[in-house]
Amino acid sequence: MKNPEPCELTPNSWTPIIGGLFMSKYSRAFKCTVAKQYLL
């Protein structure tokens, strides 16, 4: 429950919005966070 899946966490309408925001601004930060959460 601490690390919910992005698919279930974000609805269909929010997926492109959050995806675009993370891809444009928080690309590196998002990748690092996801990598740390899923690797550890």
**Cα separations (Å) of 30 from 1, 7, 19, 34?**
19, 16, 10, 6
Residue scoring higher pLDDT (1 or 35): 35
pLDDT category at 8 given cuts 50, 70, 90 is: low
pLDDT at 6: 53
Model confidence, pTM: 0.30
| Locus of tokens 């974000």 | 10
37: Cβ–Cβ under 8 A, 6 or more apart, which residues? 3
How large is the C-alpha radius of gyration of the chain? 11
Alpha carbon distance 11, 27 (integer Å): 20
